Copies of this chain bind each other. A is one copy, B any other.
């Protein structure tokens, strides 16, 4: 299994990766199961062995991404109590994961409203858990007199981190470790402050895509 999460076998992960590429390229509503069959080389009946519908595919992509990023960050944060280090681990985990999964990131962003009913409810619950975790980290960080609304700060951070699928070019822009470090320093100290010891660089290991190649 790609990232050691139960319930996702290799073949399904391969299907999800191809479906994310198709949805990112054509948009969810224009893409068909037939497109995904073509992209994977798996017959329609083969695909229907794994998923019931196109919507289930979209659900599984979103559920697996939020689930993986949440599992990873919870594992990284376990035992870490320093607020600045907790913040940097959160940012690095997010950036590392999504740089390796930019097509999924585009799908999560553009198709956030495309799920319905129980699928939507379950993804919303994971997103809320992730957002609440981020808010709690920022709340520990802020000096009491900063005066910036916590919701504004949280979504300012998510915006900064999530926008990368629009502009970041792996191999041409700065490496992922420097990207995560730049975001962390900007957010902690702002662009007017010279780099200081508070936010010393922490190395980021290269991570593979969540989908097996």
Contacts and interface: CB of A to CB of B under 8 A. Distances in A.
A22 B187 CA distance: 35
A153 to B, nearest CB: 6
A33 interface: no
Nearest to A173: B151
A4 to B, nearest CB: 30
Contact-residue size bin, chain A (C-beta under 8 Å from the other chain): 35 or more
A17 interface: no
A6 interface: no
A185 interface: yes
Contacts of A156: 160, 163, 182-183, 186
Contacts of A149: 173-174, 178, 182
- Residue among A143, A146, A178, A194 with the highest chain B CB neighbour number at 10 A: A146
A164 B155 contact: yes
A141 interface: yes
- Residue among A110, A142, A157, A190 with the highest chain B CB neighbour number at 10 A: A190
A49 interface: no
A187 B159 CA distance: 12
A145 B191 CA distance: 10
Interface of A: 27, 29-30, 84, 109-110, 112, 138, 141-143, 145-149, 151-153, 155-164, 166-168, 173-174, 178-179, 182-183, 185-195, 198
5 contacts: A29-B29, A157-B160, A159-B166, A160-B163, A162-B163
